[in-house]
Amino acid sequence: MKIKIRSERISDFNSIANVNYEAFLGWHPDNQYVSELILVDLLRHNSRFDPELSLVAELDGQIIGHVLFSPFKFIVLGTEQLGVVLAPIAVKPEFQKSGIGRLLIEEGHRIAEKKGIEFSLLCGHEEYYPRFGYRTGMFSVGGTKVNICAKSFNDKGFKGRPVTASDISWLIQAWKDQHKEDLLAVFPGESISEWCNHGLECCSSVIMKNDRILGYVRHSRSNPLNIKELLAKDEDVQEILSFLALKNYGRVQGEVCIALPVERLRSALDDAPQFELIDEYAVYPAFMVKVFEQDSPMAKYCEKVESGLIKPGMIAFPAVFDLADGRRE
């Protein structure tokens, strides 16, 4: 087979959607819902989207494979860096296990490195991706479970509302204040579409109290409540969690899972007795990073993780990746 690897064109969009549908349908055939083809479309709306990093494999004029590398700003060891997230990669079922994925990944790495991108990050098969230089167990998407019992909370003056474009400057500053010294963090972006809902099972809200912004919350409509991102000053976290529990459970009592380190929440909640914290930090081999620039903050970060000097950083992926939460198993 003579496979041609090239960057996508607008005329390829339908074929790329078809490849992603066919490739991922086998992962959840009983569900009959494939989010990956929609994820590709949404990632094209990202303000840093680069069509040269959306690659197709072409055989005799037919698109048979696709990979997308999406650029994002990251914080790595407290330093701003440019990296890419590899997701998704798809090959039509009849052409799988024939080396097409390897061709797509290697060309994507070559282009990304040429553009000065420092690293690539993904969640994937821990036996497949290390052959391309990915290092396993490099970050966490876990967090803390919080059992709330705040019976004295008064919700007068509280409300949650959708995110609007007028909130962007507040959101950006709040994100920087919270993550500027993180070991590892992904910056969502600077436009409203990068902070809003992208699935029916997800909700991005600004929490208000008497017309003052208390915080930003992104969560899935699950039981228990699963908070993917919380931006707020420490002194406002108790009230925000109490309000969310009341709104979700009808009482200020219940369980909340939140993508923040237990140390950060313990400091914010000031060991208040109405909040019981359970550390659910977890790292899995599937959380991987490939370094392009060997003298970079990410290279130093990976070395420190592998030597045990630091724990892998905990990250919250941007809202666009919440799309899969719309899948009902």
Higher pLDDT, 26 or 303: 303
Contact 294, 193 (CB under 8 A): no
| pLDDT top residue among 134 and 35 | 134
* Shared-domain flag, residues 149 and 263: yes
Query: Which pLDDT score, from 0 to 100, does residue 116 have?
Result: 97
Residue 304 CA to residue 301 CA, distance in Å, equals 5
Q: Does residue 324 sit within a domain? A: no
The pLDDT, as a whole number, for residue 191 is 95
Which of 183-197, 198-212, 279-293 has the least mean pLDDT? 198-212
Number of structural domains (the chain) is: 2
For the cut 70, the answer to whether the pLDDT of residue 326 exceeds it is no
- State mean pLDDT over 135-147: 95
Q: pLDDT tens digits, residue range 9-23? A: 999 999 999 999 999
| Residue 310 forms part of a structural domain | yes
Residue 187 inside a domain? The answer is yes
Per the domain annotation, does 82 fall within a domain?
yes
| Cis preceding-peptide flag for 88 (omega within 30 of 0) | yes
Assigned domain for 325 exists? no
327 pLDDT above the threshold of 50: no
pLDDT tens sequence across 53-87: 999 999 999 999 999 999 999 999 999 999 999 99
Give the model confidence (pLDDT) of 234-275 as tens digits.
999 999 999 999 999 999 999 999 999 999 999 999 889 999
Examine the domain organization and report whether 210 and 301 are in the same domain: no
Answer yes or no: is pLDDT of 285 > 90: yes
**Residues 39 and 79 occupy one common structural domain:** yes
- Convert the chain into a string of H (helix), E (strand) and C (coil): CCCEEEECCHHHHHHHHHHHHHHHHCCCCCCCCCCHHHHHHHHHCCCCCCHHHEEEEEECCEEEEEEEEEEEEEEECCEEEEEEEEEEEEECHHHCCCCHHHHHHHHHHHHHHHCCCCEEEEECCCCCHHHHCCECCCEECCCEEEEEECCCCCCCCEEEEECCHHHHHHHHHHHHHHHCCCCEEECCCCCHHHCCCCCCCEEEEEEEECCEEEEEEEEECCCCEEEEEEEECHHHHHHHHHHHHHHHHCCCEEEEEECCCHHHHHHHHCCCCCEEEEECCCECCCEEEEECCCCCHHHHHHHHHHHCCCCCEECCCCHHHHHHHHCCC
Same domain for 201 and 312? no
pLDDT-wise least confident of 26-40, 90-104, 197-211, 291-305:
26-40
For residues 13 and 132, membership in a common domain is answered with yes
Residue 327, domain member (yes or no): no
Task: Answer yes or no: is pLDDT of 329 > 80.
Answer: no
pLDDT at site 28: 64
**Residue 123 included in any domain:** yes
Residues 36 and 109 in one domain: yes
Q: What is the mean pLDDT of residues 277-300?
A: 96
Asked if 213 contacts 231 with a C-beta cutoff of 8 angstroms, the reply is: no
* Nearby residues of 322 by Cβ (< 8 Å), 6 or more positions away: 197, 198, 199, 202, 218, 220, 228
Residues 150 and 275 in one domain: yes
The CATH number of whichever domain residue 149 belongs to comes to: 3.40.630.30
Same domain, 111 and 35: yes
Query: Residues 129, 216: one domain?
Result: no
Same domain, 186 and 273: yes
User: What value does the mean pLDDT take over residues 279-283?
Assistant: 94
The per-residue pLDDT for 31 is 65
**pLDDT at residue 221 in the model:** 81
What range defines the domain where residue 47 resides?
4-139+283-316
151 and 272 in a single domain? The answer is yes
Are 133 and 165 part of one and the same domain? no
Mean pLDDT over residues 222-245, rounded?
A: 93
Domain annotation covers residue 132: yes
